[in-house]
């Protein structure tokens, strides 16, 4: 199964920054294209006070810091240049919905959506929206949040597609800053299906695709969880993608590029489950030949060899 | 003291994978040879479900995943090509003996030994066995495990040598996934001698060499522990090697290449204690000029300068 | 605001060693010069048993290990060659003052100062002293320690300048080996001012400059803390520098190069507060084009672009 999309990890929560300028990003889009990636997804446009573009909304209302570079503009220009599609990731306050106030998270994002569409909606490559608030369970009023934000994104942009990328609350669902790599209380397949059926029912029509992160469960659990996700997505008319994580969750260093064998297993599991599309988190740190992690360049080579076998 | 052997860290527990293909491994064997390494030790042939070769035994009995590449075959071919010796590391279930059932660990490994010798025993470079179950204390029935597996390895292979590489239960003996780098309850020299005398007595004749890992004690403790290990090994007719760890246990990043000064101190301590041979864990991540950790290439250069002074 | 000085992280507490030889250090001093760095600060000359130079004092009294290279001599020679200033960092026992015995820490350091000035004081580049014992609060008898050591450094060396580099006991002041990146009980601005006013009052005249580490507080707290530090320093006649950390404290990997945007914000905050000088911890791992962390080379490029805008 071929990876045709990647997240752009700006602003990052937990992956050290590579300090690339425009030249490096331009080259990276070329590297992506060379292996068939046609879509980039901005993981989030802002987090707490940090911003990827000079958002008047977030600077005024949340004390956002004015960024030195307008990354949204740069990514759109590069996507235009390389004939790729760009999905805009919304703003994550890092507080409102984290503390239960989902409506306030919706409110600030409605303004961000308006601002962004006005400023950047004319770019040819602006082709979709990423609802950046990630959950693993039916947490708080997340259905309401997805429904309202997804609807507004689509309404304002002549129905451009929307994507969410939840994680599965599996054994490896631990905090990045935790010293452990596994936990005891993983979600059961049944409970996962029950909660996500309810969520999908509440967001059908306004969320076009779901790409579950594939790294929080054990490798032998992939077939069962992937089958359930596909079944649910089909039932509610949502496209079922996989978010193939290209970093390794089994190592004490958080995080380094994944062993190719593991990535291959996850992609094969998605293929066998009949998934529609594979994207990755994320190319530039973990699969790029110019990554600061040299293991990534070797992963790129192994992945290219794999492509030839498809 | 010259390092003449290195582990090959496949399957890795805790070191991120470099995603090398055959070309990179071929080059690495050349880099090893250039500094006098004549023997490679596969740290383990399998761990839980992960495999270095398509083991019918482990796939059938333990649900092992079929690997994309037969690394055992590749390593043997490269060892043949570079005129090096290869030691095969046994299978680690990651459960049976971890939970006290040493006999079940023996049982699966007896089948692995048969399978491997039948499939790979004809390679010229297949020159020994590594008993992969590592302990620091007289834990459970580990004497029985070493004795049975060592005997079977030797019986089937016309007495090829066997190696174990325990660690010392010192101040730095903490889990890789732990956030700490030291612990309070280190073993005393006397208790260490008492337990390992009993182990050596039980495995003499079927284990030919012991290479204690040198990284878990303080540097000023090296002379005393090295002397005791040598004295015990001599008493029971076991060769005393050192496993000179080339990664740094004193840093919050687990793990990066060691500071050369520390490696040199450990090698000098082994030389002064009259050790027979030095091997390292491990060359390809921590000492290789093509390692993803660029500190390793500098360590390689510092080590080459040191070799000239010997 | 331009960075004109950098620490040299030998001996390191918590940053993995790069294993550079003289050639790499020589090249790095050139890279430093190219961006305007004119002063290097040895962070510490020894830590516990580890030494940067063959100190007879520490080897005899503290069981110090004889180092393979005399780094102090090498750094002084390179500083001479590159027309840079060198500040000598004192010895940190890692025990006496850690356990409350500040006088014993003073005693060993008085001997180190004598030894070092006798052996290396004639180098043209020997231009100052770094009092290596770092604190964030009025801890134990730290005022007494700074006062005695600072006075002896100045007395023996014809009044060469002395520097301290404390940290602020902010939200991010956690141990490097801790799994967390923040803590709850940060110091208040008022308490910080109260304790440091008392310290400054006790060390005025014998400590010439203070460079608070800038990484332990939140970015929006920079203006307030920087203003208070400047006000206090001015009141007591101490130069107010900033120690702009070039590594990122917000990431689970401890530590990688900082995102340029963050470094820029911290430098700008220092500029706005009217600081006298900016130095960094530290160039060679986190900003150098030859660092093992390739992110550092990109940070170097981003920083050079920033210099052009000043």
pLDDT at residue B266, as a whole number: 98
Mean pLDDT of A280-295: 98
pLDDT digits (tens, 9 = 90+) for C188-218: 999 999 999 999 999 999 999 999 999 999 9
pLDDT at A13 over 90: no
Among C2-6, C11-15, C75-79, the minimum mean pLDDT is found in C11-15
d(CA A64, CA A41): 22
Q: Is the pTM of this model over 0.95?
A: yes
Structure confidence at residue C175 (pLDDT): 86
Mean pLDDT of A254-283: 97
Determine, for residues B252 and C14 on separate chains, whether the beta-carbon distance falls below 8 Å: yes
Report, as an integer, the average pLDDT of B182-202. 95
Average pLDDT, chain B: 97
Subunit contact B251:C16, Cβ cutoff 8 A: yes
How far is A296 from chain B, CA to nearest CA, in Å? Answer: 8
Percent of chain C with pLDDT over 90: 95
Nearest CA in chain B to C293: B294
Mutation to test the C interface, candidates B15, B175, B253, most C Cβ within 10 Å: B253
User: B252 contacts in A (CB within 8 Å)?
Assistant: none
d(CA B181, CA B173): 8
Share of chain B above pLDDT 90, in %: 95
Cβ distance of A17 and C293 shorter than 8 Å: no
How many CB pairs below 8 Å do chains B and C form together? 60
Residue of C nearest to A292 (CA): C294
Instruction: Report the pLDDT averaged over residues C232-236.
Output: 98
Query: Which residue of C18, C68, C254 is in closest CB contact with B295?
Result: C18
Give the pLDDT score at A184.
87
Question: Given a cut of 80, is residue A177 above it in pLDDT?
Answer: no
What pLDDT does B39 receive?
Answer: 98
Q: How far apart are CA B157 and CA B132, in angstroms?
A: 17
Among candidates A253, A265, A295 on the partner chain, residue whose Cβ is nearest the Cβ of B254: A253
Tell me, what's the pLDDT at B180?
A: 85
Q: Which of the pair, C276 or C176, is modelled with greater confidence? A: C276
Distance set, CA B16 to CA B29, B35, B51, B164, B292 (Å): 20, 24, 16, 24, 10
- Strand positions, DSSP E, C165-251: 209-213, 239-245
ipTM of this complex prediction, to 2 decimal places: 0.96
Cβ within 8 Å, pair B259-C17 = yes
Q: Min CA distance, C128 vs chain B (Å)? A: 27
* Nearest CA among B288, A22, B256 for reference residue C18: B256
Question: What is the percent of chain A with per-residue pLDDT over 90, rounded to a whole number?
Answer: 95
Q: Do B146 and B207 form a contact (C-beta atoms < 8 A)?
A: yes
Residue whose tokens read 């060379």:
A34
* Yes or no, beta carbons of C260 and A19 under 8 Å apart: yes
Four-CA torsion B297, B300, B301, B307, nearest 10 degrees: 180
3-state secondary structure of C87: strand
- The residue-averaged pLDDT of C144-149 equals 98
pLDDT for residue B184 = 87
pLDDT at site B235: 98
A209-213 and A85-89 strand pairing: unpaired
What pLDDT sits at residue B177? 77
Q: What is the pLDDT of residue B67?
A: 97
Question: How many angstroms away from the CA of B24 is the closest CA of chain A?
Answer: 9
Å from B123 to nearest chain A CA?
26
- Asked whether B80 and B125 are in contact (CB, 8 A), the reply is yes
Instruction: Assign C79 a pLDDT band (cuts: 50, 70, 90).
Output: very high
In A, minimum Cα distance to C177 occurs at A179
- Cis, peptide link before residue A246, omega less than 30° from 0: no
| Reported confidence tier of residue C176, pLDDT bands at 50, 70, 90 | confident
Contact C301 A18 (CB under 8 A): no
Q: Do C299 and A15 lie within an 8 Å CB cutoff? A: no
Which of A223, A298, A299, A306 should be substituted to probe chain B, the one whose Cβ sees the most B Cβ atoms within 10 Å? Answer: A298
Listed in sequence order, the residues at least 6 apart from B94 whose beta carbon sits closer than 8 Å to its beta carbon are B47, B48
> In terms of pLDDT, which residue wins out, C129 or C177?
C129
CB-based contact C179 A176, cutoff 8 Å: no
Decide if pLDDT at B79 tops 90: yes
- Judge: A256–B16 Cβ closer than 8 Å, yes or no: yes
Residue A181: predicted pLDDT: 86
**Considering only alpha carbons, which residue of chain A is nearest residue B51?**
A261
From C16, C177, C179, residue closest to B248, measured CB to CB: C16
Closest-CA distance, C149 to chain B, in angstroms, reads 29
Task: Report DSSP state, residue B266.
Answer: H
Residues written for chain C: 310
Q: Quick one: which H or E segment has residue C261? A: helix C260-272
Q: What is the pLDDT of residues B230-283, one digit of tens each?
A: 999 999 999 999 999 999 999 999 999 999 999 999 999 999 999 999 999 999
C13 confidence band (pLDDT: 50, 70, 90): confident
* Nearest residue on chain B to C181, alpha-carbon basis: B179
Kindly list the strands in the beta sheet with B46-47, ordered across the sheet, starting from the edge strand earlier in the chain. B50-51, B46-47, B91-92
The chain A residues in contact with chain B (CB within 8 A) are 179-181, 219-220, 248, 251-253, 256-261, 264-265, 293-295, 298-299, 301-302, 305
For B18, which residue in chain A has the nearest alpha carbon? A295
Of the candidates B130, B203, B136, B191, the residue with the CA atom closest to the CA atom of residue B164:
B130
Q: What contacts A63, CB < 8 A, 6 or more positions away?
A: A49, C220
DSSP-derived letter for residue A204 is: B
DSSP of B102-165, one letter per residue?
Answer: HHHHHHHHHHHHHHHHHHHTTSTTEEEEE-----SS--TTHHHHHHHHHHHHHHHTTS--EEE-
State residue C76's pLDDT score: 98
CA-CA-CA-CA torsion sign (A178, A183, A189, A191):
negative
Neighbour count for residue B256 (Cβ, 10 Å): 21
Q: What is the pLDDT of residue B171?
A: 94
Between A and C, how many CB-CB pairs are < 8 A?
63
Q: How confident is the model at residue C142 (pLDDT cuts 50, 70, 90)?
A: very high
Of the candidates B32, B43, B34, the residue with the CA atom closest to the CA atom of residue B213: B43
Alpha-carbon gap: C256 to the closest alpha carbon of chain A (Å): 6
Percent of chain B with pLDDT over 70: 100
Give CA–CA dist B291/B201, Å, rounded: 40
Contacts of C195 (CB under 8 A, 6+ apart): C137, C138
Q: In terms of CA atoms, which chain A residue is nearest residue B13? A: A251
Q: Give the pLDDT band of residue A179 (cuts 50, 70, 90).
A: confident
- Mean pLDDT is lowest, of A280-294, B166-180, C77-91, for B166-180
- A248 with B24: Cβ contact below 8 A: no
Mean pLDDT of A38-66: 98
């Amino acid at each position: 199964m071929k990876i045709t999309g990647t997240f752009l990890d700006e602003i990052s929560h937990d992956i050290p920054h590579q300090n690339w300028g425009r030249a490096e990003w331009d080259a990276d889009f070329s590297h992506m294209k060379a292996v068939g990636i046609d879509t980039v997804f901005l993981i989030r446009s802002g987090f707490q006070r940090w911003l990827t573009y000079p958002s008047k909304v977030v600077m005024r209302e949340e004390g956002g810091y004015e960024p030195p570079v307008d990354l949204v503009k740069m990514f759109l220009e590069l996507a235009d240049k390389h004939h790729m599609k760009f999905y805009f990731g919304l703003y994550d306050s890092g507080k409102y919905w984290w503390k239960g106030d989902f409506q306030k998270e919706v409110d600030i994002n409605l303004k961000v959506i308006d601002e962004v569409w006005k400023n950047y909606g004319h770019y040819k490559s602006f082709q979709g929206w990423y609802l950046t608030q990630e959950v693993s369970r039916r947490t708080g009023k997340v259905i309401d949040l997805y429904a309202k934000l997804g609807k507004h994104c689509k309404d304002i942009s002549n129905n451009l597609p929307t994507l969410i990328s939840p994680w599965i609350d599996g054994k490896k669902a631990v905090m990045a800053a935790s010293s452990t790599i596994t936990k005891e209380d993983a979600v059961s397949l049944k409970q996962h299906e029950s909660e996500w059926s309810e969520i999908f029912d509440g967001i059908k029509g306004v969320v076009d695709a779901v790409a579950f992160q594939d790294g929080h469960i054990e490798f032998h659990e992939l077939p069962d969880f992937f089958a359930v996700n596909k079944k649910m997505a089909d039932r509610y008319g949502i496209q079922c993608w996989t978010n193939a994580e290209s970093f390794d969750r089994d190592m004490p260093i958080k995080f380094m590029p994944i062993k190719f064998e593991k990535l291959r297993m996850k992609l094969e599991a998605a293929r066998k489950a009949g998934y529609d599309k594979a994207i990755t988190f994320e190319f530039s740190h973990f699969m790029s030949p110019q990554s600061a992690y040299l293991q990534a360049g070797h992963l790129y080579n192994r992945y290219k060899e794999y492509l030839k076998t498809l």
